[in-house]
Amino acid sequence: MAAVEQAKNYIDGKWSWPEGAQAIRSLNPADTREVVCEAPDSPASEVARAVEAAYRAFPAWRRTPPPARAALLRRAGEILAERKEQIGRLIAREAGKPIAEGRGDVQEAIDMAELAAGEGRRLYGDTTPSELPNKMCLTLREPVGVCGLITPWNFPVAIPAWKAFHALICGNPIVLKPASDTPLCGAWFVQALVDAGIPPGVVNLVQGRGSVIGEALCNHPRVALVSITGSTETGRAVAAACGRNGKRVSLECGGKNAQIVMDDADLDLAVEGALWGAFGTSGQRCTATSRLILHEAIHDEVLRRLVARASRLRLGPGTDERTEMGPLINESQCRKVLGYIRIGREEDKATLLCGGQRAEDESLRYGWFVKPTIFADVTRPMRIFQEEIFGPVLAVIKVASLEEAVESLNDSQYGLSSSIYTRNVNQAMWAMREIEAGIVYINGPTIGAEVHLPFGGVKGTGNGHREAGRIGLDIFSEWKTVYIDYSGRLQRAQIDTESLVATTAGRKE
- Which residues are annotated as catalytic? 252, 286
**Which distant-in-sequence residues (6+ apart) come within 8 Å of 137 by Cβ?**
127, 128, 129, 130, 481, 482, 483, 484
Where on the phi/psi map is residue 232: left (φ > 0), alpha (ψ -120 to 50), or beta? alpha
477-485, strands of its sheet edge to edge? 127-129, 135-143, 477-485
Whole-angstrom CA distances from 371 to 210, 339, 459 are 29, 14, 31
Distance of CA 106 to the CA centre of its chain: 14
**Which distant-in-sequence residues (6+ apart) come within 8 Å of 210 by Cβ?**
150, 177, 179, 180, 230, 234
Length of the chain: 509
393-399, strands of its sheet edge to edge? 351-354, 373-376, 393-399, 289-295, 257-261, 417-421, 439-442
Whole-angstrom CA distances from 104 to 100, 167, 265, 285, 287 are 6, 22, 28, 14, 16
What 8-state DSSP symbol labels residue 199? Answer: P
**Half-sphere exposure of residue 292: CA atoms within 13 angstroms, side-chain side:** 31
CB 275 within 8 A of CB 419: no
What 8-state DSSP symbol labels residue 181? Answer: T
* Strand stretches in 48-207, DSSP E: 127-129, 135-143, 146-150, 174-177, 203-205
Q: Report residue 354: phi and psi, to 5°.
A: -160, 160
**Which distant-in-sequence residues (6+ apart) come within 8 Å of 309 by Cβ?**
271, 275
**Which distant-in-sequence residues (6+ apart) come within 8 Å of 384 by Cβ?**
340, 343, 344, 347, 350, 375, 378, 393, 395
CB 267 within 8 A of CB 298: yes
